[in-house]
Amino acid sequence: MHTTFQTVGLIGKRDDTNVAETVTALIRYLDSSGIRVLLDESVSPLADGSQMADGSPIECVTTETIGEQCDLAIVVGGDGTLLSAARTLADYQIPLAGVNLGRLGFLVDISPDHLSNKMDEILRGHYLEERRFLLQGDVYREGERIAGGLAFNDVVVHKWNLARMIELETYINDRFVNTQRSDGLIISTPTGSSAYALSGGGPLLYPTLNAIVLVPVCPHTLSNRPIVVDGDSHIEVVVADSNEERTQVTWDGQDSFSLRSGDRIKIYKRERELRLIHPANHDYFETLRAKLHWG
């Protein structure tokens, strides 16, 4: 087979027997197509005992090595697995394709039932590619950067542990927007607009828009509504009234950091975009209809 991709990396959700079956099937398929396969070390135990057709062992590497050496990364699992891989591979410019093993996903959209057909199309260059941006969220305390992280979906400043609201000040491009008392604030990419931000009452943004949405979580003032701003905006959230025991910043719901009063979270678009691969017949609105049970 003449293929656009010569070296493919496989990344999957840990400790999942369904992932093991699909990863093993992908290894055999890619190997038979003459493609070099690199297996992420996080899922290497799932393919224990598997070999390439010539009897050689499978190459098990770090996710960073996949970014450095592969032409394509295939993520097996759900949207959460792809979120994690996206943050790790964000700076490598490697395209990602997702095989969905859970509930219908917005990001992982290749069904295992059609794996060979869809992969045939993708490997021959028949696919849709989208450019999606990530957010960088940095925490500053007394002028010093003390934490930071990447988010493909959202950066969330939120309360935890106690029922009391927190007080936050929001600035956009150094201009004061408001002070709000709420359970938190979601700062979301268009990709993340269909996740936590949607549950908080935010709008759906088409995934390739250059925009950021700010969604308050259970605001005390009911007139405090979501706002959409230009994707190149610089957003700053100041913790005005809190303590270390009940306020956090979270990146994609996977990494978190405890905040204090006076901490500043600076959020802006990451310069390098992520390349996301879909099958050629991918339809975002079809996914919305299925996921959100639209008529």
Q: How far is residue 41's CA from residue 200's CA, in Å, rounded to a whole number?
A: 36
Whole-angstrom CA distances from 14 to 19, 59, 80, 149, 166 are: 8, 17, 12, 22, 35
Say which of 40, 79, 109, 263 is annotated catalytic. Answer: 79
Q: Tell me if residue 79 is catalytic.
A: yes
The residue type at 70: C
Pairing between β-strand 274-279 and β-strand 127-132 as defined by DSSP bridges? antiparallel
Q: Return the active site residues.
A: 79
